[in-house]
C-alpha cells in the first residue's frame, strides 16, 4: 500500500450486495480509499460510510449509460475498478422480455465498458491499475432456466477488450472472476430454487461464503496480484 499522500483509490460497483459489502471491507482494511456504488437500497453502505473515513458512497443508475459516462467523467483518477453490479430477476428464454434483457445488459455489462473505456487509459498513463469483472459460474452451463437475462449479461461481461492487452504493458491488469454459488440472499429472488439441491452439484459440497469470494476478488484487484491478467478464473468449489 502507498503512503497516505499516494493512497490508492478503489471504485466498487454493486457494493450494496452481500459480496460487495465484504469487498469494500477488504479494501478498507488494506488502507484503500473506497468509493462504493449502489443503484438502490444503499442504507447499509451509507451506515458503513458514516463510520469509515476512507469510504464514500455514490448512487448511479447503471441502466442510464449517459449518466454512467457523466459520472465517470467527473471522477478523479482511480487505481482499482471492481464490477459486481447485476440485475437479478427471473426471466425465461421461452417467454423472452426484450426490455428486461436490454436492462440487464446495461446494468451488468455495458456500464462496465463505459467506465473501463474511460478509466483504463488513465490507469495506463499513471502506470498502475487493477480491473476485476464479476461474472457467474452459471455462464459455464448456460445459466438457469429462470435467469436468462442475468446469465446473458454475465456472459457478455466476460469479454476482455483488446485494449486491455496494451494496458497490461503499463501495469494495468484486467481479469474476470466467475463467482460460484454463494450463501447470500440473492437466491430468494428466484422462487422455487432449492439451495440444498444446488449445493449437491458442487464438488466441495457447499456454497461459498461471501468472505471467500471477496478474498478472491480482492487478490485479483490488489498489489498482491503482480502477473495475472486477461484471464477468466472461477471460484466455484469445483464446478
Q: In which domain, by residue range, is 193 found?
A: 4-235
Q: Is the pLDDT of residue 1 over 50?
A: no
Q: What is the pLDDT at residue 189?
A: 63
When comparing pLDDT for 129 and 184, which is higher? 129
The larger pLDDT score, comparing residue 189 to residue 44, is at 44
CA–centroid distance for 158 within its chain = 11
Counted domains in the chain: 1
Residue 166's contacts (CB-CB under 8 Å, 6 or more residues apart) are: 124
Segment holding 10, helix H or strand E: strand 9-13
> Would you call 151 helix, strand, or coil by DSSP?
helix
What mean pLDDT value characterizes the chain?
Answer: 94
Distance of CA 14 to the CA centre of its chain: 6
- Report the alpha-carbon distance of residue 9 to residue 25 in Å, rounded: 14
Task: Name the pLDDT band for 33 (thresholds 50, 70, 90).
Answer: very high
Question: What three-state secondary structure class fits 211?
Answer: helix
Angle at 42 between CA 133 and CA 206, to 5 degrees: 55
Report the CATH number at residue 99.
Answer: 3.40.50.720
- In whole angstroms, give the CA distance from residue 201 to residue 204: 9
Q: Is pLDDT of 5 > 60?
A: no
Residue 98 in this model has a pLDDT that exceeds 90: yes
Separation in Å, CA 170 to CA 1, 106, 130: 19, 29, 11
Amino acid at each position: 500500500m502507498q503512503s497516505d499522500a499516494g493512497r490508492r483509490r478503489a471504485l466498487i460497483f454493486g457494493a450494496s450486495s452481500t459480496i460487495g459489502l465484504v469487498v469494500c471491507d477488504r479494501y478498507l482494511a488494506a488502507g484503500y480509499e473506497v468509493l462504493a456504488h449502489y443503484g438502490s437500497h444503499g442504507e447499509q453502505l451509507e451506515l458503513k460510510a458514516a463510520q469509515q473515513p476512507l469510504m464514500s458512497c455514490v448512487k448511479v443508475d447503471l441502466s442510464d449509460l449517459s449518466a454512467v459516462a457523466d459520472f465517470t467523467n467527473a471522477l478523479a483518477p482511480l487505481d482499482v475498478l471492481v464490477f459486481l453490479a447485476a440485475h437479478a430477476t427471473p426471466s425465461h428464454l421461452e417467454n423472452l422480455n426484450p426490455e428486461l434483457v436490454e436492462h440487464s445488459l446495461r446494468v451488468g455489462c455495458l456500464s462496465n465498458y463505459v467506465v473501463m473505456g474511460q478509466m483504463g487509459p488513465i490507469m495506463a498513463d499513471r502506470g498502475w491499475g487493477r480491473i476485476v469483472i464479476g461474472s457467474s459460474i452459471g455462464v459455464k452451463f448456460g445459466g438457469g432456466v429462470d435467469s436468462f437475462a442475468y446469465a446473458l449479461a454475465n456472459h457478455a461481461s466476460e469479454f476482455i477488450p483488446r485494449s486491455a492487452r496494451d494496458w497490461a504493458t503499463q501495469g494495468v491488469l484486467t481479469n474476470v472472476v466467475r463467482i460460484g454459488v454463494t450463501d447470500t440472499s440473492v437466491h430468494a429472488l428466484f422462487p422455487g430454487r432449492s439451495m440444498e439441491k444446488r449445493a449437491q452439484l458442487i464438488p466441495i459440497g457447499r456454497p461459498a461464503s461471501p468472505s471467500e469470494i471477496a478474498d478472491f476478488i480482492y487478490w485479483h484487484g490488489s498489489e498482491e496480484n503482480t502477473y495475472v491478467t486477461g484471464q477468466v478464473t472461477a471460484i466455484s468449489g469445483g464446478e
